[in-house]
Structure 1
Amino acid sequence: MINQQEQIIMPKSLKDLRPVYVVGVGWHRYQRLSGTPYVSLGLHAIRQSLADAGIAWTDVESSYMGTGYLGMAPGLPMLRYLGATGRHLVHVENASASGSAAFRHACIEVAAGMADVALAVGVDKPETTRHPVTGLSSLANDAIAFFTHYALLMDQYAQEHGAKPEDIALVAVKNLYNGSLNPNAHRQEERSLDEILNGRKLSGWLTPLQCCPVGEGAAAVIVASEDAIKRLSIDPDRAIRVAASAACSERSGLDWPVDVALTQVTMADALQQAGLKPQNVDVLEVHDAFTIEEVQYAESLGFCKPGEAVHLLKEGAFNIGGKMAVSPSGGLIAMGHPVGPTGVGQIGEITMQLRGEAGLRQHKGAKVGLAHMIGNGPMCYAHILQKP
């Protein structure tokens, strides 16, 4: 029995537990909806991650699958093609942050010593949009779309900081260039500023190339303990430490817009866990479903003051090879946003960067990377990876 006067102190960060490392990464290219079954998408990414780690499927002790649109328990018919091992499987649905949540819980299980090797996989084919039926009416149900919300944010940011449409559209110029270097990206074509700005207006300044494409795809990451790395003869020089995992959901008292306020809180928590400062981050992958998000989230990190991100963007500070490479994968704008895989894919990109294996996208000397993901506004995740 526990004395009621005794306090139970629970660890608040991964650093309070045993070390966790990313040892394998894999993708199926993000792409337009096709006739490819989701099972094939997911298996391709998982097999690639196993090969990257140099381990067998039977070495994986636990699996977490992030998905937003596939219905009940889609991992069961997918994973049985690898072999029915009877190991632990959890399905995670958390909107755009489904993959990030799957990765977080895989890390926690390994860090807690309940497994030595765990898989986090995201896979999706978002053919329809499903919203929960709450039974409560809203005056804005048919009036406000996602892009309208972000068009309003662009307008507010421009008025407060004197930014122009072409300033914020530079996010798309940069990320579409990065995507042209990424064989796993949905969009692989570089576009000029004029091409981006002259597209049809969806809402306010927003044009299609300033919004993320939502298609299909898969991403997989394998995490392991130090014991597993030694036992399975995994190359320790390619193992990347998960230094922090932070998560936050909507709460009262936050300033509008909530996703920006949540980002600031969650990123600060992750940095504190890892004992790092914003200036220590070499690679930042953010939830840039719309161009304005990258600008606001870079400022939320604390890398620069409010209103300064646009100026740094224009100077090339967020380019690959700049002060901090922001979304070298191409971000959601170019890499794409198939929902379930998105957060897992961010972890994979940062792992490649910290290993020095990102090829033409390589940010020289990268040692610290931060992955940020928003889930439908009220949820936020931040993970910091660090080269040992």
Structure 2
Amino acid sequence: MSTWIDDNDGVYVTGIGMHAYQFPSETPYTHLGLTAVRQALADAGLAWPQVNSAYIGTTSIGMAAGRVMLRHLGSTGLAVTQVENASASGSFAFRQACLEVARGVSDVVLAVGVDKHGDGRRAADKDGLAHLSDTANVPAVKFAMMARTYLRERNADVASMAQVAVKNHGNASRNPYAQYRKPRTLEQVLASPRVAGDLTVQQCCPRGEGAAAALVVSGRALRRLGLDPKRCVRVRASSTCSETPETAYGQAAVDLVRSSAQSALEQAGISAQTLDMLELHDAFSVEELLYSEAVGVCPPGEGASFLMRGDSRIGGRCAINASGGLIGMGHPLGPTGIGQIAELTRQLRGEAGERQHSHARWAMAHMIGLGSVAIAHVLSAPDA
């Protein structure tokens, strides 16, 4: 099945770069972003003047952040577009890069996510309407309530949910770009301070800062530019949607994940069972259990069992959040979605070192933004 993503002889990730995620510092955002961009250029073997266009995913820096940053590489006249869509900002910047390449507008496009810890003010706080309660829009409260429902309906215990954090902190401890780099035991996760309900600090993602970059190139341009096809990961699908009316508390986010993931899988022409890897939004531990079921890598009701059997670990049936996920790697917002793409590109190339998943050929990167938008990308290994 051929779709728009196959136009222009396909869409490929040819270079990736990262600035490690970290706690808020005095580091200028330009340094964070340019570190990632320079790495991506070196990784691809491309020069800055060869880039035709750039999309910048960011939430907290301010207007025209991309042009201010990129002028330090040289003013080449390229098109620059800033993208903001909450936690999914980087993912949507990457999608725009893919669209531009597939449609033949440009042959080489940069997608970069960069953020500092800003004030985090949301448009919903400026809509002029009174909130139902002070906690109605507090994510930790919402997901703590969803966790209670999930554990009750699945007849699972709190420890099984906390094992998500144990796994992801363990993965992050082997990731040089992660904000947290210490493995955690189940006892440590459960004993960390409570945030809301059964969610403890170590089951919640940290905010911070960092950057991630990906260079997207058309298949037609690969040969002209002399790029190594063995290191070019193909983008097989890109799908997005927004919320529909909620049928039960918290169900909207799960429905979003299911709908966007299914659409991406159909576009790629594969089933969820084909996926070897999945990077997803685990700002809170229960999300990984809910969304692994929604994506379809495990049957409904078996997210906790899938985890406890080791099926979601590196080397398992489908490695989930091998990077450490948002819980371990961190969640600086703008870079997060492109950081997922960078992780999966390394894995699909076989370059992830001690985090390498042994049979990585098909992967999905999935993000949501404030529970109201969702986006999924499917990638495949160069020889898939």
TM-score range, shorter chain: over 0.9
- Whole-angstrom CA distance in 2 between matches of 1:141 and 1:341: 29
- Whole-angstrom CA distance in 2 between matches of 1:326 and 1:15: 26
Provide closer, same or farther for how the CA distance between residues 43 and 181 of structure 1 changes in structure 2, counting only shifts above 3 A: same
Q: Between 375-384 and 307-316, report the one with greater CA deviation.
A: 307-316
- The match for 2:205 is 212
**Pick from 257, 262, 266: which aligns with 2:260?**
266
- Whole-angstrom CA distance in 2 between matches of 1:231 and 1:130: 45
Indicate whether 1:117 and 2:111 are aligned: no
- The match for 1:284 is 278
Give the partner amino acid of 1:211.
C
Find the residue that maps to 2:196 and give its secondary structure.
Answer: coil
CA contact (8 A) 1:68 1:126 kept: no
CA contact (8 A) 1:110 1:118 kept: yes
Find the residue that maps to 2:121 and give its secondary structure.
Answer: coil
Indicate whether 1:236 and 2:236 are aligned: no
Query: Which is helix-richer, 1 or 2?
Result: 2
Indicate whether 1:384 and 2:378 are aligned: yes
Q: How does 1:28-177 map onto structure 2 within 5 Å?
A: 28-132=19-123, 133-142=126-135, 144-177=137-170
Provide closer, same or farther for how the CA distance between residues 146 and 55 of structure 1 changes in structure 2, counting only shifts above 3 A: same
User: Cα RMSD between the aligned structures?
Assistant: 1.3
Shift of 1:127: 2.8
- Whole-angstrom CA distance in 1 between matches of 2:135 and 2:325: 29
Indicate whether 1:375 and 2:369 are aligned: yes
- The match for 1:330 is 324
**Pick from 158, 166, 184: which aligns with 1:191?**
184
How many equivalent pairs are there?
378
Shift of 1:14: 1.4
CA contact (8 A) 1:68 1:93 kept: yes
Shift of 1:252: 3.2
Find the residue that maps to 1:94 and give its secondary structure.
Answer: coil
Post-superposition Cα deviations, 1:239-283, rounded to whole Å, max 9, x if no partner, equal: 010000000011236654211101000100000000001110001
CA contact (8 A) 2:8 2:101 kept: no
Q: TM-score by structure 2 length?
A: 0.96
Q: Between 295-304 and 225-234, report the one with greater CA deviation.
A: 225-234
Shift of 1:364: 0.7
- The match for 1:249 is 242
Give the partner amino acid of 1:259.
A
- Whole-angstrom CA distance in 1 between matches of 2:33 and 2:54: 13
- Mark the runs of 5 or more structure 2 residues left unpaired by the alignment: none
Shift of 1:17: 5.7
Q: How does 1:303-382 map onto structure 2 within 5 Å?
A: 303-382=297-376
- Whole-angstrom CA distance in 2 between matches of 1:367 and 1:103: 20
Find the residue that maps to 1:33 and give its secondary structure.
Answer: coil
CA contact (8 A) 1:186 1:334 kept: yes
Q: TM-score by structure 1 length?
A: 0.95
CA contact (8 A) 2:8 2:218 kept: no
**Pick from 169, 172, 185: which aligns with 1:179?**
172
**Identity, % of aligned positions:** 50
Q: Which runs of 4+ in 1 moved over 2 A?
A: 15-18, 141-144, 251-256
CA contact (8 A) 2:9 2:220 kept: no
Post-superposition Cα deviations, 1:41-90, rounded to whole Å, max 9, x if no partner, equal: 00000000000000001110010000010111111110000000111110
Shift of 1:142: 4.6
CA contact (8 A) 2:90 2:112 kept: yes
Give the partner amino acid of 2:198.
W
Find the residue that maps to 1:81 and give its secondary structure.
Answer: helix
Give the partner amino acid of 1:193.
L
Shift of 1:144: 4.9
- Whole-angstrom CA distance in 1 between matches of 2:202 and 2:229: 40
Give the partner amino acid of 1:329.
S
Provide closer, same or farther for how the CA distance between residues 179 and 95 of structure 1 changes in structure 2, counting only shifts above 3 A: same
- The match for 1:5 is none
Give the partner amino acid of 2:305.
H
